[in-house]
Structure 1
Amino acid sequence: MSEFLTDLDELIALLEAPADTLIIFHRNPDADAVGSAFALSNVLEQLGSPTRCVCQDEVPDNLQFLMNGTQESVLVDAVLADFEPVRIISVDTASRAQMGTLADLFGESVDVMIDHHIVFYRG
């Protein structure tokens, strides 16, 4: 997408439409990033969208419970081994730099960015 969605109705319609969805969260993941990614994953799965969450770095042991047993790994090679996303959402990631190595793979393909930080995404 060339522009980010800013209309809530458009966002809801997009999220309600079933699609294989990749959810990206920032490198060096913290509870905010992991919790946001896997909470959204849970909602989208309930709406009929297969999802996978991905990060440059593995989720720390003390935060693995937030993954709720849904994935063994969030590293890109493990996630994309059997999954081809048609929709990409980033959470808790306000800039491409926060994606780390994933920026080159997915940075220009993010369809929806959900974040609470005030930073220009493309920077």
Structure 2
Amino acid sequence: MLNLTPAGAFTFLFGVSTVLLLIYVIYLSIFKILRPRLAKFYSDGDSLFYFGHLAHMDRNKMLENFKNLDDQEILRNLSEQIFEVSRILNTKTEDLHNSMNYLYLSILSLLAFVLSSRLL
């Protein structure tokens, strides 16, 4: 059985919390911020301004669709693209904010770990 002094227990807790916080910051950074996100809210699959729709479209069909676009359709397509990009960026900004908060906490935890290890 471990016989920890109070200073040793605090050092252990601060060390564990630092590692866990840093792991969470790395997770947020890689999987929530850097990882690309795809559109979810398009009304149809024929947008000429979204790469996901263009990738599944025949080249000739795409060229024909571009020729037949009127101003209203261009405005609708651009509006949908702006909406999608805004939603994605809003989510990524919230995740970045959370990541920065947890990074700050991990730095504080690291400082507490270093200070408490000096007490031993």
TM-score by length of 1: 0.21
Of structures 1 and 2, the one scoring higher in RCO (CA 8 A, sep 6+) is 2
Greater strand proportion: 1
TM-score by length of 2: 0.22
Greater helix proportion: 2
Larger radius of gyration: 2
